[in-house]
Structure formats: C-alpha cells, structure tokens
Amino acid sequence: MYRTYSLRGSCIEALKWRPRPCLLTNTFQVAVVIQLRILLVTRRYPPAPGGVETQVMETANRLGRRGHRVFVYCSDLYRDVPPQHFTRQDRERLDGVEVIRYRAVSIPWREKKGTSVTPAMLCALIRMNQVDLAHCQGLNLVTAAASLMIRLRQTKVICTTHLDPILLSNAFLAKVLASFDGLVALTETERRRMLSLGLDESKIRLIPNGIDMSRFNDMPRPEVFRRKFAIATPLITYAGRIAADKGCDVLVEAVARAKSQIGECTLLFAGADWGYRSFLQRLSRRKGVRAIFTGNLQLEDLKAAFVASDVFVLPSLREAFGLSVLEAMLCGVPVVASFVGGVPSIVRDEDTGLLVRPSDPWGLAEAICRIVTDRELSTRLVANAKKMAAKYSIESTVTQLEKYYEDILRG
C-alpha cells in the first residue's frame, strides 16, 4: 500500500522514504509504504477445496506480496461433512503467509450439518501478539467466536459473510453483524440485505470476489479432456462441492429430461464429495444418465474440463457469489445457473447466461437444451460473459480491501 506526500526537504529525514525530486518546486515526492499486520480467520484453508477457501488464499498471498504481514487462523478440517481432518503440521508457511490450523471439535447434535468449534484457536487468540486488523472470512461458529476474542483485545474486526443473502434475515444475525467494525458485501444484493437488517450503511463496503486473470491466458484443447474420459457426446459440467444444498440431484433429473431433445449426453461432477456422491451415483443409474465423478480438480485440470464442455450448470439452492461461474465464463463455456443469492449479479439472464428457478428440473432441462442446440445463442452468451468476467480481477479486489482496511483503522 503506497501513499505519496509532498514534503519540504528539511522534513524528510524523519521518514523511511525513497525521494523523487520535483523540478517545479522545492519539494520531494515521497512514497511511504504502509505495512499492516493482518489476521485472516476462516473455517478452512487450502489445500482444503472450495471457492471461499481459494479466495481467502489468493487474498492472503497478494496482501503478503504487497508488504503486509499476514497470518491465517483456521480449523484443521479438509471438509465438514463427513468430517475429515488434515494430518499435517499445525503451523506452516505457505507462499509467505503464516497458516495456523487448530483442531476442530464437532458439536454432537450438529455433526451431520458439519458444525464444529475450535477451542484451541480461542486460547491462542488470548495470547496472540497484537495485529492491526482482523478479517473474518465467513460467518460461522469458528469465526464468530474468534471475532469476540479479538474484539476483547480492542482490535478492529471486519467480516465477509460468504453467505447467500437470503440467510441474512433475522434479528439475532443483525446483532452479530452490527458488532463488527466493518462488513464486506460481495454483491449489491447482499449490501441491500444488510441494510434491510438496519445495519449502519457507513460500515458496509461492496467488494466482490476476484479471479487471478493470468491463469486464464492459456487454455488446453477440448479433445484432451474428452479423450481422457472417452466422451463423444454433449458434455454438461458442474463444479463445486458434491453436497445436498448444491442442487446436484436436480441437475441429474434435468439431464435425464434433456436427453429426449439432445440425445445421449454426459454429466460431469467435478468437486469434493461431501457425503452425497453415492446417492447421486445411484440416482444417475436409475435415470439412465452417464455421470462422471472426478473428485476435486486443480485449476489446470478444471480448465481442461470447462473447455471440453458444452454447458456449465450451477444448480445451487443457495449461493453467496459463485466463483466457479466466473471461471467457466473465462474458459468460454455458456452458463446456466439458479436464480439464487449473488448469482444474478454475474449471470444476467439472456445476456451473460441463462437463469432458472432453483429446484426446477423442467426449467433447467429447457435451458440446457437451448444452449446445446442453439449455437448462435451459445456464442452470444459466451462473448458477453467473457467481457463481464474480465472485470472481476483479484488484484482489484485486494486493492479495494487494502483501502477499506486503511479506512477502518483511520476511523
């Protein structure tokens, strides 16, 4: 983070600076680097898979490269349902960021929902050396409890909820959010929802998630992925957690219905299994749908899957933002998505993609058929989507966060 000041020559000796003489006046232009100690608190962190996890890592790495000292406190969970813990060391440096993982303890009557707490993290926060600011990534028991301990140390705390805005809907949640010094809304829909809860508008900053655009400059050829999995039919792809709230069963039903118009096709599920894969496999066999489950894919393999696809589908029942949608758009895949949460801020119906009602296999099947059979529609959606997706740069996101951090500390 850089700030430029004009100072008289006699004033500069008190600062660490790199002066640049100004020829028109007897002043120097001085670039002062503001270095912060930033704590990011999140439920999971890579190599744990997921959109939030990836976004927090990309943010942490870039803040570190810009000269800030960045710490990440997280649980030791690779996934929540069923619980799977890392066996690696508790403390490590990843790309210059100090990551500390604390043992997650499941709450017995909420274990099937993946609810857990991290008592050791709370103890560590009591002993923690002072940081300038803490940023809770996600609103859950882990981050809410941690934020309480941080505030007791009189440290500024902000929160990005990473929740579908529809969930921001009760008085208790409003009180929790009001206790933060600042709030990051990912979409205008989320910002308006926060305002409807009576939250202070001056506390809320609209800063969307971002993508590392440089990683989408080079694309693999479509036949690479198709040859690997022996795919010779239209390919319909979903990428994300294989979980009940993602509407994957609705997608299987929709593809089964779409076959009457587009013929035999292949359905690809790319993502980590959260206890739902075996059910989807049985459902696919019963519906006569050829389904391929790849597990979680690293970005290069995911790009190969995207460019080989005829359509990308996000049938979620709840969604805060939808990073996988942006990734698919940058790979040139036409998108169909549920009209939920923050998705409509990215997918504009009939412009950058097609939107359907959640839990509607008939509407989803119709949208899939339109894209697969209408090449002109597909080409137009892809062209518009690429232009729009290119605006969501992770560098811009981090620059906006830096400015917000500074405003919070100054206020």
pLDDT the model gives residue 109 = 76
Same domain, 226 and 205: no
For the chain, what is the largest distance between any 2 Cα atoms, rounded to a whole number of angstroms? 81
Same domain, 104 and 153: yes
pLDDT the model gives residue 19 = 38
Same domain, 185 and 238: no
Say whether pLDDT at 88 is over 90: no
Helix (H, G, I), strand (E, B) or coil at 384: helix
Same domain, 358 and 276: yes
**pLDDT above 90 coverage of the chain, percent:** 81
Same domain, 29 and 84: no
pLDDT the model gives residue 1 = 52
Contact 47, 40 (CB under 8 A): no
Same domain, 282 and 381: yes
Same domain, 301 and 398: no
pLDDT the model gives residue 87 = 82
Q: What pLDDT, in 10s, does the model give residues 26-82?
A: 444 444 557 999 999 999 999 999 999 999 999 999 999 999 999 999 999 999 988
Same domain, 72 and 118: yes
pLDDT the model gives residue 126 = 85
Q: What pLDDT, in 10s, does the model give residues 247-306?
A: 999 999 999 999 999 999 999 999 999 999 999 999 999 999 999 999 999 999 999 999
pLDDT the model gives residue 153 = 85
Say whether pLDDT at 22 is over 90: no
> In total, how many domains does the chain have?
3
Same domain, 341 and 399: no
Q: What pLDDT, in 10s, does the model give residues 128-173?
A: 888 999 999 999 989 999 998 998 888 999 999 999 999 998 899 9
Q: Which CATH number characterizes residue 225's domain?
A: 3.40.50.2000
Helix (H, G, I), strand (E, B) or coil at 135: strand
> What is the residue range of 10's domain?
2-33
Say whether pLDDT at 351 is over 90: yes
C-alpha span between 47 and 187 (Å, rounded): 26
Same domain, 145 and 13: no
Q: How many residues does the chain have?
A: 411
**DSSP class of residue 242?**
B
